[in-house]
Chain A
Amino acid sequence: MLEAVLVGAVRGGTSILYAALGETISERAGVINLGVEGCMLVGALGAYATAVSTGSLALGLVVAVTGGMALAAVHAFVVLERHANQLAAGLGVWLLGLGLTSLLGQSYVGRGVDGFANVPVPGLHRLPFVGPVLFDHDLLTYASFLAAPVVWWLLFRTRTGLALRAAGERDEVLHAYGRSPKRLRYLAVLSCGGLAGLGGAQLATALAQNWSENMTVGRGFVAVGLVIFAAWDPRRAVAGAYLFSGAVALNLQLQARGAGISPFLLTALPYLLVIGVLALFARRRVHAVPEGLRKVFESGAVS
């Protein structure tokens, strides 16, 4: 049973991991994007519909990433050019993505797709326990193993990453170096949208191999919460994503074994787990908050 839970944690956590990595980049640059939930939906439908219509999964990924970026661009524009409140704009962007994918995805509901199959890593997948948990997944899940260290490296070991983090901490420093915080924030928010779109693509074309309205059911919001838990560190985001999806996988196992607890209540547990984890870690994370984000929260809900 532990093995099944861990397998489910990794495969089911991939979409959330991509979204959480994207959100980490965006928040490091000082922009909270609650629209990731919508970007995931757009990515999910984009990849799925493209794969169904053209038979090309690769093209599907391109559409998913582009679509996620396009929706994130709306957020970036409203927030960066028009100074809209980030949280309200993010929810608006989410609703936009939800409505759009409901409208455009209607004819694709439940059609099924030949999506990303599991590609066992030769040799390694035969290892006991470790094999099925780590080496028998779809390509997008393997790619996500690399994505977390790559995002960490980009953020903490490159000049652009340094500048991007500066945009989220003290943008006046950037002006002194002749770099535009706004341009860096655009880069960050669009990357966030693209990664969330990729996560959505994994959800629809690899995990579920299907499309249904609002199929992310809050995974994007979970990702935003996990970024706080992860203290804006891409490496810890991995733990957060697998923790949530591990709880989901555990539920499925319990339900399959007839645990005698309502499946509805079991389904609620992963969400409560995320809230609980936030409660445990909130105090310890206070000093990790990028300075620019602090201002977003403290400026309050006024206009």
Chain B
Amino acid sequence: MNVASLAGAVLVAMAIFSLFVLARGAAPLQVLADMATSALGSRRAIGEILVQATPFVLAALATALPSRAGLFNIGAEGQLVSGAIGAMAAANAIGGGLPTPVTLALMAAGGIVAGALWALGPTILRVAAGVSEVISTLLLNNVAFLVLAWLVHGRWKDAASLGLPQGRDLATTETLPVIFSQRVHLGVVLAVVAAVVVWALLRFTGWGFRLRAVGGNPEAARRAGLPVGWLIASAMLTGGAIAGLGGMIELAGIEGRVRPDMLVGFGYIGFLASWLVRHHPGRVVAGALLLATIAVGGNSLQLDAGLPAASVNILMALVLLAVLGRRGRAMPGVA
């Protein structure tokens, strides 16, 4: 995917989006201009894009890495949520008193474990029972939000929140330090590091090579004596773990408390980001930045034009469909 054709896809998407905005009775040029200002108009806005791209990068890696082994992890959404839950549980278990780096490391560990656990069910079903991970990961996304809502409305509900369903405010020791501007936190760096690590793992290790073998032709890989089941499981669980880290980072970097509608849609946007760059772990950062720009611009839809925030899904979906629809290599059996 080169830059020119990606830009073309964005332009096509914006043109079609404008038509729908027009149909809704708003002025499309004004809406697009507001979006551009909102996304790119200030130093602070650029920082917002970095912050917004962070969970997208990790969700995209959670899609890209399993795809190397031929897997469709559509569960990054639920794995992000599970990661946030795991990180919060870790913070609660610690109960304060530990230094910040230790607390944050333990919270990250909680997120990583919880994210992998959320991928464990689909993994076992795929490897042991032959259930396609497509549907199981998709449906578990809904379940993750219900578990989050159960906790936030129940045992984690903060008595001081005046009846709002949200958890307690995180303490300073439980919050990722801000490194730049007002909101750009350490998690931004972690996301880039994660992308580099995944790229290096897939590029330079035997594990990465074997995953590609499994993804290319599982039957041949099996005959060559590769432990296909274990390789599939390792790819899927690592993907879940990465998304789980993303949930922790969003909780400790931006949200500051658990809320029932945190992270909504982030996993799907990560999925799109991964597909935009054909699952290349290095380029995932670029895909995530593009979609984060659209997302941050989309904030103005609500504020300036009074349009629902979910409308940006139109733009993102159109960008994806335009990229997918670029006449690519014909796939066997799909004509």
Residues of A in contact with B (beta carbons under 8 Å apart): 30, 34, 74, 77-89, 91-96, 98-100, 102-104, 106, 171, 181-182, 213-214, 217-218, 221-222, 224-225, 228, 262, 264-265, 267-268, 271-272, 274-275, 278-279, 282-283, 286, 292, 295-303
Which residues on the B side are within 8 Å of A295 (C-beta)? 332-334
Is B49 an interface position by the 8 A CB rule?
no
**Assembly CA distance A104 to B327 (angstroms):** 31
**Assembly CA distance A209 to B311 (angstroms):** 23
Determine if B70 and A221 form an interchain contact, defined as CB atoms under 8 angstroms apart. no
Determine if B132 and A297 form an interchain contact, defined as CB atoms under 8 angstroms apart. yes
B interface size (C-beta, 8 A): 65
User: Smallest Cβ distance from A130 to chain B, in angstroms?
Assistant: 32
Determine if B279 and A103 form an interchain contact, defined as CB atoms under 8 angstroms apart. no
**Interface readout for B295-335 with A: 1 if CB under 8 Å, 0 if not?**
00000000000011011111111101100111111111111
Which residues on the B side are within 8 Å of A181 (C-beta)? 335
Determine if B149 and A302 form an interchain contact, defined as CB atoms under 8 angstroms apart. no
New A-B contacts (17) at CB < 8 Å, excluding given A83-B329, A95-B320, A221-B139: A30-B334, A84-B325, A86-B334, A91-B271, A95-B268, A96-B318, A98-B313, A99-B312, A99-B316, A100-B314, A106-B24, A268-B143, A271-B140, A282-B131, A299-B333, A300-B67, A302-B278
**Interface readout for B194-212 with A: 1 if CB under 8 Å, 0 if not?**
0000000000000000000
Determine if A299 and B313 form an interchain contact, defined as CB atoms under 8 angstroms apart. no
**Interface readout for B140-159 with A: 1 if CB under 8 Å, 0 if not?**
11110011011001100000
Q: Which of A82, A86, A103, A296 contacts B327 (CB 8 A)?
A: A82
Could you tell me which residues of chain B, from 12 to 71, have a CB within 8 Å of some CB in chain A? Answer: 20-21, 23-24, 66-67, 70-71
Determine if B72 and A301 form an interchain contact, defined as CB atoms under 8 angstroms apart. yes
Which residues on the B side are within 8 Å of A77 (C-beta)? 325
User: Smallest Cβ distance from A228 to chain B, in angstroms?
Assistant: 7
Chain A residue nearest to B330 in the complex (CB): A83
Which residues on the A side are within 8 Å of B134 (C-beta)? 34, 87, 224
Q: Which of A104, A268, A303 contacts B147 (CB 8 A)?
A: A268
In the complex, 27 of the A-B residue pairs with CB atoms within 8 angstroms, ordered by the A residue number, are A30-B334, A34-B134, A81-B325, A83-B329, A83-B331, A84-B324, A84-B328, A88-B320, A92-B320, A93-B317, A96-B314, A99-B315, A99-B317, A104-B23, A213-B310, A221-B139, A262-B154, A264-B147, A267-B146, A268-B147, A271-B139, A275-B139, A295-B333, A299-B332, A301-B66, A301-B279, A302-B278
**Assembly CA distance A54 to B32 (angstroms):** 32
**Assembly CA distance A222 to B134 (angstroms):** 11
Is B107 an interface position by the 8 A CB rule?
no
Which residues on the A side are within 8 Å of B329 (C-beta)? 83, 303
Q: Which of B125, B142, B321, B327 has the most CB of A within 10 A?
A: B321
Name A's interface SS.
helix
Determine if B153 and A264 form an interchain contact, defined as CB atoms under 8 angstroms apart. yes
Is B74 an interface position by the 8 A CB rule?
yes
Determine if B142 and A228 form an interchain contact, defined as CB atoms under 8 angstroms apart. no
Q: Which of B21, B131, B143 contacts A279 (CB 8 A)?
A: B131
Determine if B321 and A74 form an interchain contact, defined as CB atoms under 8 angstroms apart. yes
Which residues on the A side are within 8 Å of B271 (C-beta)? 88, 91
**Assembly CA distance A218 to B135 (angstroms):** 10
**Assembly CA distance A37 to B226 (angstroms):** 37
Q: Are A106 and B131 also in contact (CB < 8 A) when A84-B328, A88-B324, A300-B215 are?
A: no
